[in-house]
């Protein structure tokens, strides 16, 4: 496709997105489901061109603003109060899910390299609070559950993406060292925190001197990409840098923005994030056409992928519940041994937290970013 044809096709996708959103609201369907099904249907419309994106472009285009969106609106006091539970879900559950899914996939598809199996596990390991809230928006959740879900979604993407990159590197090179990977993980994380803090505080200082509301809002939008690209440029985690910069910016937003600018900026930001999320959902639907063509048709695709896909879904759900209930039970036991009872979740709250592990737009973006020559990409 020529650049002009690509732009025209994106405009068509935006019109389709608006129609699918209206249809979802009219029928009561989750918008994400309508967008994916619409993308799949659009992929098989005669005359629709094959549409692909460069994997590296997917990450740098979509991820930074989506990560910034969660970080900017995080309430720091609630986040700090529930930090232990958030880290348990955002790091512990992500690693546990990655391992569980990797083992399940290798058992179902023995020919797939271990590294590729764990890469798939890392892709599907981080849940998305936006997806959960979209489904649970008609339910009055306790504040603690809401904070846990939003805080988990904020940090788990970083953990999942770092694990994904290690797994991809191992799949493409055929080498992996646990000690080296652990040390590298620490350096990437600490470096990302440092870079994110620098960009966050720098942006807060910069915006105070702009004065003009339009320039202030425009500069605020650039922070997510600046932190991500800056982190990647110095070979640390751009994801963690973006999250930290967004947290700092969100904490200081009342010092930087007037009430009017904050309202205008939030409204503009919501529109941009909505369009980006919707595009990712439609693009993942469109990508199914290429998968089916490469695998030899619909019947062959179902035959070769049906069982592994079902296995991944089961592994994801079971691992989520096992971690939520298991970690809560271990926490209560440790609290009793120390003589300091901990605030545990009720069975009902734990069940809701387990079912609220829906995967969302970041999972889809990371799947699209997998290298073309990676084993098992389809």
CATH of residue 100's domain is 1.20.1530.20
Backbone φ and ψ of 356, nearest 5°: -85, 15
The whole-chain average pLDDT of the chain stands at: 82
| Whether pLDDT at 194 is above 70 | yes
Are 97 and 218 contained in the same domain? Answer: yes
Taking the alpha carbons at both ends of the chain, their separation in whole angstroms is 22
CB 360 within 8 A of CB 130: yes
**Residue 219, in any domain of the structure:** yes
* Average pLDDT estimate for 127-131: 67
Are 14 and 90 contained in the same domain? Answer: no
Token output for 119? 């890469």
| Whether pLDDT at 320 is above 70 | yes
- For 4, other C-beta atoms within 10 Å of its C-beta total 8
CB 143 within 8 A of CB 78: yes
Are 161 and 251 contained in the same domain? Answer: yes
Of 51, 67, 89, which residue constitutes the final position of a domain? 51
The pLDDT, as a whole number, for residue 135 is: 58
φ/ψ region of 33 (left if φ > 0, alpha if ψ in -120 to 50, else beta) reads alpha
Of 18, 35, 51, which residue constitutes the final position of a domain? 51
**Residue 375, in any domain of the structure:** no
The pLDDT, as a whole number, for residue 341 is: 65
- 137 vs 281: CA distance, rounded Å: 20
- 282 vs 32: CA distance, rounded Å: 9
Are 22 and 112 contained in the same domain? Answer: no
**Residue 215, in any domain of the structure:** yes
| Whether pLDDT at 195 is above 90 | yes
Token output for 125? 């390991």
CB 360 within 8 A of CB 131: yes
Token output for 9? 């096709």
CB 166 within 8 A of CB 181: yes
- 41 vs 285: CA distance, rounded Å: 8
Are 211 and 352 contained in the same domain? Answer: yes
- 159 vs 243: CA distance, rounded Å: 12
**CB under 8 Å to 224, separation ≥6 — which residues?**
64, 65, 67, 68, 242, 245, 246
**Residue 117, in any domain of the structure:** yes
Are 10 and 136 contained in the same domain? Answer: no
Are 12 and 71 contained in the same domain? Answer: no
- 237 vs 229: CA distance, rounded Å: 10
Are 180 and 104 contained in the same domain? Answer: yes
| Whether pLDDT at 118 is above 80 | yes
**Residue 373, in any domain of the structure:** no
The number of distinct structural domains making up the chain is: 2
Are 248 and 135 contained in the same domain? Answer: yes
225 vs 207, residue with greater confidence: 225
- For 158, other C-beta atoms within 10 Å of its C-beta total 25
- 107 vs 125: CA distance, rounded Å: 18
pLDDT in tens, 81-107: 778 888 888 888 889 999 999 999 999
**CB under 8 Å to 196, separation ≥6 — which residues?**
227, 231, 240, 241, 242, 243, 244, 245, 246, 247, 248
Token output for 87? 């880290």
* Confidence category of residue 220, pLDDT binned at 50, 70, 90: confident
**Residue 374, in any domain of the structure:** no
Are 321 and 337 contained in the same domain? Answer: yes
- 175 vs 163: CA distance, rounded Å: 15
- 63 vs 142: CA distance, rounded Å: 29
- 376 vs 295: CA distance, rounded Å: 11
**Residue 186, in any domain of the structure:** yes
Are 202 and 88 contained in the same domain? Answer: yes
Domain that holds residue 43: 1-51
Are 219 and 206 contained in the same domain? Answer: yes
**Residue 257, in any domain of the structure:** yes
* Confidence category of residue 177, pLDDT binned at 50, 70, 90: low
């Amino acid at each position: 496709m020529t650049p002009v044809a690509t732009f025209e096709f994106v405009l068509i996708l935006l019109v389709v997105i608006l129609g699918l959103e209206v249809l979802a609201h009219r029928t009561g369907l989750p918008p994400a489901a309508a967008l994916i099904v619409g993308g799949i249907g659009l992929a098989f419309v005669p005359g629709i061109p094959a549409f692909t994106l460069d994997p590296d472009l997917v990450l740098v285009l979509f991820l930074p603003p989506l990560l910034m969106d969660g970080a900017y609106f995080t309430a720091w006091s609630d986040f700090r109060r529930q930090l232990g539970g958030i880290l348990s879900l955002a790091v512990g559950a992500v690693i546990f899910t990655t391992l569980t899914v990797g083992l399940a996939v290798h058992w179902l598809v023995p020919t797939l390299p271990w590294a590729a199996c764990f890469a798939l596990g890392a892709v599907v390991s981080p849940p998305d609070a936006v997806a959960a809230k979209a489904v649970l928006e008609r339910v009055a959740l306790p504040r603690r559950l809401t904070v846990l879900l939003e805080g988990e979604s904020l940090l788990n993407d970083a953990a999942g993406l770092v694990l994904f990159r290690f797994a991809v590197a191992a799949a493409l090179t055929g080498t992996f060292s646990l000690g080296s990977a652990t040390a590298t993980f620490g350096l990437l994380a600490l470096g990302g925190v440092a870079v994110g803090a620098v960009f966050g505080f720098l942006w807060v200082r910069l915006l105070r001197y702009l004065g003009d509301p339009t320039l202030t809002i425009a500069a605020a939008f650039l922070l997510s990409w600046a932190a991500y690209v800056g982190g990647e440029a110095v070979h640390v985690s751009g994801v963690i840098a973006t999250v930290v910069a967004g947290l700092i910016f969100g904490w200081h937003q009342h010092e930087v923005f007037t009430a009017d600018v904050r309202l205008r900026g939030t409204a503009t930001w919501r529109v941009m994030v909505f369009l980006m999320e919707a595009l990712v959902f439609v693009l993942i639907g469109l990508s199914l056409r290429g998968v089916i063509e490469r695998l030899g048709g619909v019947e062959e695709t179902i035959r070769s992928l049906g069982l592994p896909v079902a296995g991944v879904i089961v592994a994801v759900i079971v691992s989520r519940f096992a971690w939520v209930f298991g970690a809560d039970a271990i926490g209560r036991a440790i609290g009793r041994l120390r003589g300091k009872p901990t605030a545990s979740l009720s069975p009902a709250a734990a069940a809701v937290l387990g079912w609220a592990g829906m995967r969302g737009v970041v999972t889809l973006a990371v799947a699209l970013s997998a290298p073309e020559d990676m084993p098992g990409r389809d």
